[in-house]
Amino acid sequence: MSESPRRITLAVEPLTAEAFAPFGDLISARPEIQQFQINQGFATRFHDLATVDVGQGEGARVLVNIFRALPRVLPMQLQVMERHPLGSQAFVAMSELPFLVVVAAPAAQLRPEQIRCFLAQGGQGVNYAKGVWHHPLIALERVSDFLVIDRGGPPGE
């Protein structure tokens, strides 16, 4: 007889740099980030927001993609958590729409009691550190586009 799935309810936390630090980087134009005036003063650079890790191995490279996510209806049941052991993965909202970020600490096995859920605002993004468990994109309200930066190259290297 198979064991039925365990039901837990996740509290939704605000997405802050401090709260998200165990899982990676918050990508946003926050006042505490080092800033530079560039382009003859017509732009501000918020410097060094995330560490992109593509690992090692011949052919490992940075990929830049756009993911288009369909909105989810809440409440929802988490069906899958995934992780990327070879590199980081960043998601940056390309709209002002909120989205959910569901994560758990890197470990050989996912520990459901360690799953956390954050509410990201439009204009924010996250960079999952290598090995962090995470749920696929959870767009809210309507179809949402995300700039995604992750590892490309041969698998397994």
Q: Looking at residue 135, which CATH number applies to its domain?
A: 2.60.120.480
For residue 4, tell me if it sits in a domain.
no
Domain that holds residue 104: 12-152
CA distances, 145 to each of 13, 136, 150 (Å): 22, 13, 16
Residue 57 lies in a domain: yes
Within a domain: 29: yes
Q: Is residue 7 part of a domain?
A: no
Does residue 5 form part of some domain? no
**Rounded CA separation 92/46 (Å):** 14
146 within domain boundaries: yes
What is the pLDDT at residue 157? Answer: 47
- The total number of structural domains in the chain stands at 1
Cα separation, 53 vs 135, whole angstroms: 19
Would you give per-residue pLDDT tens digits along the chain (157 residues)?
445 567 788 999 999 999 999 999 999 999 999 999 999 999 999 999 999 999 888 888 999 999 999 999 999 999 899 999 999 999 999 999 999 999 999 999 999 999 999 999 988 999 999 999 999 999 999 999 999 999 998 775 4
Tell me, yes or no, whether 144 lies in a domain: yes
What's the pTM?
0.89
